Structure 1
Amino acid sequence: MRYSYIFYVLTLFFSACQEVENIEGQFELNKIFIGNEEYTWGSENPLKIPVDQIITLVFSQEIDESSVDEGLLLTKINEGVVNISINVNGNSVSIFPSGSLTYSSEYEIEITEKLKSSSGADAIRQNINFFTQLEKLGIHELNIDGRVINLNNLILQNVQVDTDIRIEFSAAIDQEKFEEAISIGNEDLVFEYNETNTIVDFRPQQELSYLKKYQINLENGDIGALGENFDGFSKTFFTRLDSTYKFDEISDEALLTKIQAQTFQYFWDFAHPNSGLARERNTSGDLVTIGGSGFGLMAIIVGIERGFITRQEGIDRFEKIVNFLSDADRFHGVWPHWMNGNTGNTIPFSELDDGADLVETAFMIQGLLAVRQYLDESNAQELAIINQITTLWEGVEWDWFTKGGEDVLYWHWSPENEWAMNLPIRGWNESLIIYVLAASSPTHPIEKSVYDAGWARNGGIINGSSVYEINMPLGETLGGPLFFAHYSFLGLDPRNLQDQYANYWEQNQAHSLVNQAHCTINPNNFIGYSEACWGLTASDNHQGYSAHSPGNDLGVITPTAAISSIPYTPEESMKAIRHFYYLLGDRLWGEYGFYDAFNVTQDWYADSYLAIDQGPIITMIENHRTALIWDIFMQDPDVQKGLNDLGFTF
């Protein structure tokens, strides 16, 4: 049965080859095909043919099928006649060996005068010799750094940077051809061979980079010493982590200060020169972001208290920002997500999102209220800023974003598209602060029913199940992206915060621990994950941008995730900070602190900074160290009233 389909194809093929030149009366061989390739016999270097192909002979006349068994013989030289099956089709005959021919062997096809044409003519006697191909060259064993490697495993980890690689072949290889065919990226290689050229040891001339993706690639070709063919081979591997410190070791307290100071420069030196607001990212030009700028306001308070800037420098920057915000686009008191830092005009976030963004505005108000509480009413300049902030705060029409009185707040509205975005804000996610501020408003508050039915979904927000032996009070079991535990809690103090749905310290701590446990267990086998290398949250990635989480794990670690969780997981976060700074610092540390994200599996490291990722680092480290922003924000009387109205204890 294995030849039936091939024979059918060849029958069709050779039916087109019936017309051949012939001296009238002679019955002779005209052509030979091996598979569907024509074979020229009689050359000084006989063709090496595959061992599993059908041999087809094309004669000058139609063949007498009854004469074929005696008139055609296939012989293996020095061994004898090979059993064959034969099929005749007009003037062609196909020979099927019983089983494959053997590699590296010489055969002979003998045509005798006993082969007759259908008209009775004797065939001209002829002998055709050919050789079969050499047996394919194979790998018997691959050994890397003394480890025998399973050739079927796709990825190999923890290879030494000064790796030694050994390949044992099934037969001797041609050294020159092998060295032309083998590569590890663009590395120069050094080779050693055993006496029989069946084993080769090779290594890069220079040490490889640590924790980096490489590929051993051996191209297909006739690299055997006798010309044997090799099908090709590749093996991806990752070098091991380099445990050498990339920077001098300092105390943990000094390291935290260094991270705060370096990250602070994003909101200070890199702030938009006209508005003082934070650019969306380090490539945004005049585009500034409202939520990230709210984070930046709290960072400036930290910068004053840490001595990164003087108080007067900070007050002047607050004044510039508040003046700009007062004249910028607002819609029912709500700013857009993005605006132009020169003009204050809206820059659409998407086609329909070209107006108010209530969530981004809440992040800004959180920062403004912290500034208002921080400033000194006895100072005339500071009092003027306090009054401007109060005007902006009281101008936000939170209740209007219930879309005519529904028991839920809506994220967007614009004059052009109105409610077309149609995105209700429901928990659990990063948006608790929106409902707290909406309830706290002295001019446009929402009712508690909006919080209960809209945000808490009448209790639907509650989870209570466990993962990695950790109980998750709210939201999805795997916690979601870790910014859920950060954005609302830069000012809102979760340490004693509780309502009928959850204790929010327990929620955020559990969320952080689940995130760290997931990266430690590493169910997707990503490279670089460990108990010290963790943190899944929204950030840039090798494909663009995504909200990374245990349920959306793409192999991307985002430093802000573990760092900003330091109040909840001080030991685990400090371990990650040391790992990012000392062990990966030559790749992750830059002008404004840690770059946004990295993916070792994809050999990708960001060169970007995002305001919404940089801001929580500064403030949450400070909340861990001194509770500075928590204490300031929670003293605001409007916020206290709002929390009380919603049924919180704090």
Structure 2
Amino acid sequence: MKKRKLFGFLLTISLLANLNLTSVASASEASSLIGFRAELKAVAYKTYSFFEDYTDPSTGMTYDEVRITEDGTQEAKRTSPTNIGMYMMSTVSAQQLGILSKEEAVKRIQITLHSLEKLEKWNGLYYNWYNTDDGTVKRDWGQFISQVDNGWLSAGLIVVGQAYEELRGDTSKLVKDMDYTSLYDPEVGQFRGGYDVAKGKLTDHHYGMFYTEPRVASYIAIGKGDVPKEHWWKLYRTMPKEWDWQAQIPQGGNLQYDGVNVFEGNYEYNGVKFVPSWGGSMFEGLMPGLVLKEKELGTKALGLNNKRHVELQIAYAKEKGYPAWGFSPAATPTGYSEFAATPLGTSGYKDGATVTAHATFLALEYAPESVRKNMKTLKKFKMYGKYGFYDSVNVETGELAKAYLALDQGMIMVSIANYVKDGVIRDYFHSDPIGQKPEELLQKEVFSIQ
């Protein structure tokens, strides 16, 4: 990793130059805001150094996971379409934050794009796991084509194409070739989870829940014209009332959008109405907002619901007596597990008293003061290391998962860039026709949580 001796000084100058002091009520508030943005940029600097040190220089593909153990560093030299997409968006973020020059960012991404052009694909879609050293499919991990993972790769390509015009021809071709119709079930109006190439079979299950991370691929597929916009309305806001196995019997009524009847249901927790995700985790709900203008356009639906989920995650931690909040799938000391604020899910995951850093940063644009406090609390657990925040901590035992995951590091990077640079990654995404075309879907919906 290159050393940049003047980074701290230049960081402060950049913050002062970019900050509109007329929008700040007082000098003390201005100072606090500058201080917080400096803290965030310092986190981003360390976080991006993970991508610098653990992205194969010949393929431009980032290792899935790195663990710090007593015996040394364990490196998982595999990667996924999501990891590749997050690496590219993290590199754009790093350039926006002044960590990389534009020339460095473009050079890095060009290597990745060259690999993507050569990787083995199925209908233009990418396998779920590749070896980072040579880009071969990691067949001992199966031959699965994932709808959600391809969606995040498409998102990364779209962002890169808008950030760097010189790369747009390459990124546009790759996205155009990604054929989402091959995973779509027109009879149900939903996507299958994916396709097993070895078995020659689509998954039996569909991605039916709306407030989950696959909605990014849904949005992109609509924007591309691969699937009709009616697909957006065929997803479940909550499961139907008669499905009594779910965590709550939802309240609400039907509304019609584009000729489709939608049950606009809601759950309730601590007297607050919300639309649930599947498990109740932060990344299901808020990860799509890294690229989709849900906060800006979905003021009566997704943006409002994102805010509710942040507030309710904080309330859930308080109710449980935990000193920190932020529940989402994360590394554990021995592996990986799903964690959540259980009541926020249709079939909620357990919380395990385990907090993950990426969940904190996903909440930045909805509760910045709470995020700043939570960052300080996480640091008291000795969660801050060479590459930024370790992946998780058990807030009851203090046990750390001394791991860095490409996905989670990417969520932290893009969240910081969007907060410090006023939604820059979302702006790039929505500058592309694929991002623009479905915007009305975000604007017109009204959740029954007003």
The interval holding the TM-score normalised by the smaller chain is 0.7 to 0.9
Note closer, same or farther for the CA distance 1:369–1:545 as it changes in structure 2 (3 Å cut). Answer: same
Deviation at 1:468, TM superposition (A): 2.3
Contact 1:329 1:336 in 2 (8 A): yes
Q: Distance in 1 between matches of 2:365 and 2:140?
A: 32
The structure with the larger Rg is 1
Matches of residues 418-433 of structure 1 in structure 2 within 5 Å?
418-419=200-201, 421-427=203-209, 428-433=211-216
* 1:508 match: 306
Deviation at 1:322, TM superposition (A): 0.6
Note closer, same or farther for the CA distance 1:268–1:460 as it changes in structure 2 (3 Å cut). Answer: farther
Structure 2 residue 259 is matched with structure 1 residue 259: no
Counterpart selection for 1:616 from 390, 411, 434: 411
Structure 1: segments with no counterpart, 5+ residues: 1-249, 377-381
* 1:447 match: 228
Structure 2 residue 156 is matched with structure 1 residue 367: yes
Counterpart selection for 2:283 from 479, 483, 487: 483
> How many residues in Structure 1 have an aligned counterpart in Structure 2?
375
Matches of residues 196-215 of structure 1 in structure 2 within 5 Å?
none
* 1:143 match: none
Q: Aligned Cα RMSD in Å?
A: 2.4
- Per-residue Cα deviation, 1:304-340 (whole angstroms, up to 9, x for no partner): 1222111111101111011100110211111122111
Contact 1:435 1:455 in 2 (8 A): no
Q: Distance in 2 between matches of 1:630 and 1:539?
A: 25
SS at match of 2:130: strand
Deviation at 1:570, TM superposition (A): 1.2
Deviation at 1:405, TM superposition (A): 5.5
Q: Distance in 1 between matches of 2:442 and 2:304?
A: 18
SS at match of 1:464: strand
Deviation at 1:567, TM superposition (A): 0.8
* 1:23 match: none
Structure 2 residue 175 is matched with structure 1 residue 393: yes
Deviation at 1:404, TM superposition (A): 6.8
Contact 2:83 2:406 in 1 (8 A): yes
The alignment-based identity, stated in percent, is 20
Contact 1:322 1:388 in 2 (8 A): yes
Letter matched to residue 182 of structure 2: W
Give the TM-score normalised by the residue count of structure 1: 0.55
SS at match of 1:251: helix
Structure 2 residue 111 is matched with structure 1 residue 320: yes
* 1:496 match: 296
* 1:562 match: 360
Work out which structure has the larger RCO, using CA pairs closer than 8 Å and 6 or more positions apart in sequence.
2
Note closer, same or farther for the CA distance 1:416–1:447 as it changes in structure 2 (3 Å cut). Answer: same
Counterpart selection for 2:54 from 261, 270, 288: 270
Deviation at 1:474, TM superposition (A): 4.3
Counterpart selection for 2:220 from 419, 437, 446: 437
Q: Distance in 2 between matches of 1:392 and 1:432?
A: 20
Contact 1:328 1:343 in 2 (8 A): no
* 1:547 match: 338
Letter matched to residue 488 of structure 1: P
Contact 2:328 2:356 in 1 (8 A): yes
Matches of residues 525-544 of structure 1 in structure 2 within 5 Å?
529-530=322-323, 533-542=324-333, 544=335
SS at match of 2:125: coil
Structure 2: segments with no counterpart, 5+ residues: 1-33, 67-73, 240-259, 343-349, 446-450
Contact 2:85 2:155 in 1 (8 A): yes
* 1:339 match: 130
Counterpart selection for 1:589 from 350, 375, 384: 384
Q: Distance in 2 between matches of 1:492 and 1:349?
A: 34
SS at match of 1:486: helix
Contact 2:297 2:442 in 1 (8 A): no
Contact 2:55 2:62 in 1 (8 A): yes
* 1:468 match: 270
Q: Distance in 2 between matches of 1:485 and 1:438?
A: 19
SS at match of 2:79: strand
